[in-house]
Chain A
Amino acid sequence: MTPVDRIRLEHFTLRQVLEMEACTRCGECIPWCPTYVAAGDEAITPLAKIGHFRAFWKAQHLGWLARLFGLRKPTEEDVAAFSRGTYACTLCGRCAAVCPVHIRTRDLWIGLREQLVDWRAYPEVFRLLQERLAATHNISGDENAQRLIWAENLEVQPPALSALGQADTVYFVGCVSSFYPTVYSVPQAFAGILAHAGVDFAVLGPEEWCCGFPLVIAGMGREAEALAKHNVEAVERAGARRLVTTCPSCYYTWQHTYPQLLGRPLGFAVLHATELLVDLVHSDLPLKRLEMRITYHDPCDLGRTSGLYDPPREVLRAIPGVDLVEMAETRERALCCGGGGDVEMGDPGLTEKVAAMRLAQALDTGAQTLATACQQCKRTLAAQARKDRVRLRVVDVAELLWQALRP
């Protein structure tokens, strides 16, 4: 760990600095924090994170007044606890949803991570992530030329942009769907639906690089600029009117982070897959009946972060025979799956504990199927269901729709 005597408020907006001052320490966020509830580590609470940082920056600038009021410069132990708590956060944003003062915590936690990156006080795994992304342009470390490995067994291959040259819609698959076999079924289903519905689309294949989301949320956003530039240029070369993705984190990154990183608006629309699927299910596509009771898990980056709660539900309700039941905690207050915020990379055990909590909520509904609209949520929840021998099928909304649609 390196000296931590310099605190850069430039990681925050002025409003964020005021947000830290506005925290009343009422503690309303504490019981809603999934990783705190799972781990019981006080350093994870939003109060501790804000309290630590507020004390650190004031101790640096207020001199003897800081000492008078008991504010001291951070020791290595303080920074270690601060780092542990800050990186054990899934960035689910539930704390913001319940905050009586409306503090927008998620962006604040990313700012804190940027400060920890300045101090080189971040988990080692993120250094490896940086290196892997620089070398292979994807989070798995596989050869990026293998981007279409998920499509190898398909009867009809998804059209690649390299062959077509131009496409109206670009399907951005994302690293997890591209390289993790347990969720290959998500892009397979979505590409199947697009082809079946006659949508003029193409995938980027090896030209697709990681969107940069894992770096941005790790506090290494500056290093995501090259990835953003490459991806946007690839889509622009295709002359696409819109980009669609099945990954909520990629969706948020394209929709909100890229225009900020590049300092300009993108010249095409960005959609999450469920927004496109809503249009398709209302366009007279014949759907088979699926008799099943389903509960829906809101992915944090799609729901709380991007505000998309209804499109996935609308798709599910459009499938004949589906009985959609809600979990006790849903929409703005939905519990995280545990797989967000890069927590899985640093502490997989913590991710498992949160996933088990969410599975218990799903089981309480009596549903046999747990649908979501995120490959990472599917991967996390399905792995935990297998581990806990829970009789619950975890699927993506696109998979269910494809099941109802395929010949």
Chain B
Amino acid sequence: MDRLTLFWRLHLALLGLFTLEVGWLLSLALRARVPGLPPEASRWRKLQVLVGRTLRFLFSRRLFPFLARLVDQGVLHRQLIGISRFRWAVHLLVFGSFFVLGLLSTVTGIAVEILPALFPPEHILNANALSSALRDVDHPVVALANEVLGLLLLLGLALAAWRRYVRRDPNLRTVASDGVLLTLLALIALGGYPVEAFRLLAEGNALAGGWGFVGAGLARLLAQVPADWGAWHSGAFWFHFATVNLLLFYMPFSRFFHALASPLIAALNAREEAP
């Protein structure tokens, strides 16, 4: 089995595990009350009612204002600007970069693996500029986006760590899991650059440069070092994969679950506070 096939099998299995974890947590949370139902209603009944309400909501006029609030209050956290522009910037650097990197990676996965399996090569979904760009790992836009977003994420993590461990903001209460989370996110962001550099080295393109300037720069630095770069690339690739999936596994049981829950709550509650 080649590396990419193994990657996709493992990745899909681990995404399934993540979905199961979130589903398990939600099934436990369904012990809570659902407005409009008696407290003794079964969890199954609560789920049915919630799914019904969600479907009605998705096909109602309330959806677009909700999506606007989801972006404004849940993702951009506009209320944070009034509290501290610095904190808002750190939030955007960490959450925004991670979110867009995740999105880019998902869309790339779809363009590279799923669409060609479903449609012939000449189909519009496969034969278009965006799909071509996503399939080409050295495409200037894609390479630059990955590189810059990774750096922005690292900058945000550095500032977050500085607030927590150096400046020691009096409002913050630092616990061990904060360190675990920051380290894990930093390993994910940092781990992408060796993957890129070792790939260029393994392909013999170390001196060709490229838009992924950090990875390309690292490859240039290592170009004269004799090594089995294919093996290094494989090792770095699986390390990057492992850190990303460790985060996914850890997320539902850790405070990092707020990354999923807080945009939803901010959008829902901001609606009710609106005049």
Contact = CB atoms under 8 A, between A and B. Distances in A.
B261 A21 contact: yes
6 contacts: A9-B28, A10-B31, A10-B33, A25-B172, A100-B266, A101-B258
Interface string B239-275: 0000000000010011101100110111011100100
A12 interface: yes
Greatest chain B CB density within 10 A among A16, A21, A45 is at: A21
Contacts of A103: 265, 269
B42 interface: no
A98 B265 contact: no
Interface stretch (A62-70, A125-133, A351-359): A62-70
A15 interface: yes
Interface string A94-105: 000010111110
A357 B238 CA distance: 57
Contacts of A30: 170-171
A101 B32 contact: no
Contacts of B169: 27
Contacts of A19: 261, 265, 269
A82 to B, nearest CB: 16
B63 to A, nearest CB: 18
Greatest chain A CB density within 10 A among B79, B177, B269, B273 is at: B269
Q: Is chain B's interface secondary structure helix, strand, loop, or mixed overall?
A: helix
B35 interface: yes
A100 B261 contact: no
B80 interface: yes
B268 A15 contact: yes
A61 B28 contact: yes
A286 interface: no
Interface in A14-72: 14-19, 21-28, 30-31, 42, 45, 47-48, 57-58, 61-62, 65-66, 68-71
A17 B31 CA distance: 10
B83 interface: yes
A75 B29 CA distance: 23
Nearest to B172: A27
A28 B253 contact: no
Interface residues of A, number: 41
A14 B265 contact: no
Given A98-B83, A102-B269, A102-B273, A17 B29 contact: yes
B253 A24 contact: no
B265 A18 contact: yes
A22 B255 CA distance: 8
A48 to B, nearest CB: 8
Contact of A25 (B29, B33, B173, B264): B173
A10 B261 contact: no
A100 B254 contact: no
Contacts of B270: 102
Nearest to A61: B28
B187 interface: no
A18 B80 contact: no
Interface of B: 28-35, 39, 46, 50, 73, 77, 79-80, 83, 87, 169-173, 176-177, 250, 253-255, 257-258, 261-262, 264-266, 268-270, 273
B75 to A, nearest CB: 12
A12 B80 contact: no
A304 to B, nearest CB: 11
A182 interface: no
B152 to A, nearest CB: 19
A182 to B, nearest CB: 36
A308 to B, nearest CB: 14
Contacts of A61: 28
A10 B269 contact: no
Contacts of B273: 102
B33 A22 contact: no
Contacts of A146: none
A70 B178 CA distance: 13
A10 to B, nearest CB: 5
B83 A14 contact: no
Contacts of A101: 258, 262, 265-266, 269
A18 B33 contact: no
Given A21-B257, A28-B83, 12 more contacts: A9-B31, A10-B33, A14-B34, A22-B261, A26-B87, A27-B172, A45-B173, A57-B28, A101-B258, A102-B73, A102-B266, A104-B269
B234 to A, nearest CB: 29
Interface in A343-372: none
A13 interface: yes
Contacts of A31: 170-171
A17 B39 CA distance: 15
Given A15-B265, A18-B29, A19-B265, A10 B177 contact: no
Contacts of B50: 14
Nearest to A45: B173
Contacts of A9: 28-29, 31-32
Nearest to B80: A100
Nearest to B88: A100
B77 A14 contact: no
A100 B77 contact: yes
Contacts of A23: 258, 262
B7 to A, nearest CB: 26
Contact of A100 (B29, B79, B172, B173): B79
B17 to A, nearest CB: 12
B79 A12 contact: no
A103 B79 CA distance: 13
A102 B83 CA distance: 13
Contacts of A26: 87, 171-172
Contact of B33 (A12, A98, A100): A12
B258 A22 contact: yes
